[in-house]
Amino acid sequence: MLNKTKDKAETGFLASLKDSPSTDEFIKGLWRENPVFVQVLGMCPTLAVSNTAGNAMAMGLATTFVLLMSNMLVSSLRNFIPKQVRIASYILIIASFVTVTDYMIQAISVDLHKALGAFISLIVVNCLILGRAEAFASKNTIGKSFLDALGMGLGFTFALLCLGAVRELVGNGSLFGYALLPGSYQEWVVMILPAGGFFTLAIWLLLFNGFKAKSQKA
């Protein structure tokens, strides 16, 4: 009876997801090849805009949108773009979607647009986006490129949220602008300054990679 149950578990839905190459393209960006905690990419926006959870989420979602759209377009045009001008073409594609994102954020919230500032435009030079276009989207189908971009984008957003939540909570005593800690709490102003970004990133890198190493040994 136990063997039958085990066999069903090994051939069930979860097992099929685990063995699916397509699912792996999505999961690797969230965990195994997380852009921030493993590959340490996109450090400029990671440290600059993660002083609050709201800013971190906005930048993460904006980057995910650009990554998704550019990956799919690069994949669809991979057989038509000459190798000699591929990098210039990728940058042009990425810059076009960054411009769209910039106007969208400005239309949704002027305050958010001011808070993110020049870092919206700097998505163009985010090595994560250009790297995925060159290393993956230019060599794979649109479907796989979509899953790769979605996983990497959500992994990037998750990492920014981890930093933003800690920095805002410890630095301001709030989360997404809502006060969570009592008025008597002494705010650590350093956490919302650049030094706090480096310190928080170091702690998360230690925790993430320590847990990852422990799970691989288990």
Tokens 């926006």 belong to 45
Phi and psi angles of residue 5, each rounded to the nearest 5 degrees, phi first: -65, -40
Task: Let me know: does 51 contact 164? Beta carbons within 8 Å.
Answer: yes
The total number of structural domains that make up the chain: 1
Could you give the C-alpha distances from 21 to 70, 142, 205, in angstroms and in order? 22, 14, 27
**pLDDT for res 157:** 96
Q: Which portions of the chain are predicted below pLDDT 50? A: 1-18
* Among 211, 207, 167, residue whose Cα is nearest residue 190: 167
Residue range(s) defining the domain that contains residue 73: 23-164
Is residue 130 in a domain? yes
Structure tokens given for 157? 């957003």
Helices (H) and strands (E) in the chain, counts: 10, 2
**pLDDT for res 201:** 95
Quote the crossing angle between the two packed helices 127-135 and 86-108, to the nearest 10°: 130
Give the number of C-alpha atoms closer than 13 A to the C-alpha of residue 89, restricted to the C-beta side: 19
Is residue 214 in a domain? no
Whole-model pTM: value is: 0.86
**pLDDT for res 20:** 57
Is residue 90 in a domain? yes
